[in-house]
Amino acid sequence: MSYIHETISDLKNTSPAQCEFYQAVEEVLESLAPILESNKLYQQQAIIQRLVEPERQIMFRVPWVDDQGQIQVNKGYRIEFNSALGPYKGGLRFHPSVNASIIKFLGFEQIFKNALTGLPIGGGKGGSNFNPKGKSDDEIMRFCQSFMTELYRHIGPTTDVPAGDIGVGAREIGYMFGQYKRLTGRYEGVLTGKSLLWGGSLVRKEATGYGVVYFAENMLSIKDESLKSKKCLVSGSGNVAIYAMEKLYQLGATPITCTDSTGTIFHESGIDLTLVKQLKEKSRKSLEAYLTEHNDAKFIPTSEYPSDGHAVWRIKADAAFPCATQNELTLADAKALIANGCQLVSEGANMPSTQDAINTLIDAKISYGPGKAANAGGVSTSQLEMAQNASMQTWSFEEVDQKLQIIMKNIFETAHQTAIEFGQPGNLVLGANIAGFKRVADAMLEQGVV
């Protein structure tokens, strides 16, 4: 058995029943064979075995009282995965599907994503199996306060800096920041994605979605192409999807779909973004309500999705932007995209494509931007928020957006050049994994066995 397969097999024995985590580890480790061959120190110093084991895993009870006076109990997590490059950095996800496997896969991805940005941030992730859907504002506040009542003792502006992810936006960050301040008495940049009124950074809200589109532009530019006039499939209708669609429109492309957990909207003439913002950012409704304003659009409920995938990827278009959740683009979906002439996939979500879908997209020579490279604009702008907080400065929208564009270009160039260097031009999965690994692994070598 090879060294890599042995490591994965050990992991399955010592961390049972964590399939999303194994999937993320396998994807990274499979790409690392050439660099592990070229520098034996990584094996001698057990870098891989150290990387797959989080530095610390915190799991806690989150009790809270609902509007009916009933006591509810959720699970809370913060996985502090790797601090070789800086304080643990990564979002919090509130979704009923959250478990240790999901948080570990997200934390593991975050190590390499953050390394790839070139910024001084380590990798971490957290969250809860709390379901924000249908909860009142008061319930959300009480939950967030209870969550922070345990989390506050583990985080800090130079140790661990959480942010948002699925189910955690400005409202939740606000309630958590308030409770942190109350418990510690400190007003400091312990969370990112804060409101602009009290320490947030311009562009952070838009950053992940804008970044995914900037990354796509970089992928196309080396083929002398651009997004202008392209028809685009977008999945999701949350923070990442909304600002990916906004940037697509700004660059002359047309998003024709978006999705949520209830189904898919297909609007051939272009998604009405003002309406999606209204439905999702304000009234928090199902996308089906889109039809009340646009009877020329189509809503495909999840019950009508193909059994081997998702309706959104079966629609003919030039480019695809998965921006909802993990494993939302299957092998059959990838084949349908290719058959329909799709030229590009840029991932806003974390691990949205299954491994066989990724292999198929790469074999078809489609421009494929893996999430840990393409969606790194969010965490990068979080680091810009930390920098502003630490220096007590606020930068203009243009200044932050300019920095974001440069960071996305650098990430693309790094992954692209690394893929060439290791003999697989165009394979940005290999390029991103090796480049991210090299930075964090070399830091670990220099810091000794810790």
Using CB under 6 A as the binding rule, the residues of this chain from 373 to 392 that contact ligand NDP are: 375, 378
Crossing angle for the helix pair 19-38 and 428-447, to the nearest 10 degrees? 80
Instruction: Show the tokens assigned to 71.
Output: 């006591």
* CA dihedral angle for residue 136, residue 139, residue 140, residue 144, rounded to 10 degrees: 170
Q: Where are the beta strands (DSSP E) in 196-312?
A: 231-234, 254-255, 257-260, 263-266, 298-301
Which residue's CB comes closest to ligand 2IT?
91
Its sign, for the CA torsion 123, 387, 174, 277, is negative
Binding flag, residue 418, ligand NDP (CB under 6 A): no
Distance between CA atoms of 318 and 330, rounded to whole angstroms?
Answer: 18
Nearest-approach distance from CB 379 to ligand 2IT, in angstroms: 4
Q: Do the strands 319-321 and 344-346 form a parallel or antiparallel pair, or are they unpaired?
A: parallel
Active site residues: 125
In the complex with ligand 2IT, which residue's Cβ is closer, 90 or 352? 90
Query: Of residues 263, 370, 378, 436, which one binds ligand 2IT by CB under 6 A?
Result: 378
Binding flag, residue 149, ligand NDP (CB under 6 A): no
Rg of the chain (C-alpha set): 21
Nearest-approach distance from CB 26 to ligand NDP, in angstroms: 19
Nearest-approach distance from CB 232 to ligand 2IT, in angstroms: 21
Using CB under 6 A as the binding rule, the residues of this chain from 347 to 366 that contact ligand 2IT are: 350
Find the DSSP H helices in 195-238.
204-221
Binding flag, residue 90, ligand 2IT (CB under 6 A): yes
Binding flag, residue 172, ligand 2IT (CB under 6 A): no
Q: Which does 192 bind (CB under 5 to 8 A by kind): ligand 2IT, ligand NDP, none?
A: ligand 2IT
Q: Are 367 and 383 in contact (CB under 8 A)?
A: no
Query: Of residues 265, 323, 432, 435, which one binds ligand NDP by CB under 6 A?
Result: 323
Binding flag, residue 330, ligand 2IT (CB under 6 A): no
Q: Could you identify the residue written with the tokens 């700004």?
A: 250
Using CB under 6 A as the binding rule, the residues of this chain from 103 to 132 that contact ligand NDP are: none
Pattern of binders to ligand NDP over 328-367, x per CB under 6 A?
A: --------------------xxx-----------------
Q: Is 90 helix (H, G, I), strand (E, B) or coil?
A: strand
The separation between the first and the last C-alpha atoms of the chain, rounded to the nearest angstrom, is 28
**In the complex, which residues of this chain contact ligand 2IT (CB under 6 A)?**
89-91, 163, 165, 192, 350, 378-379, 382
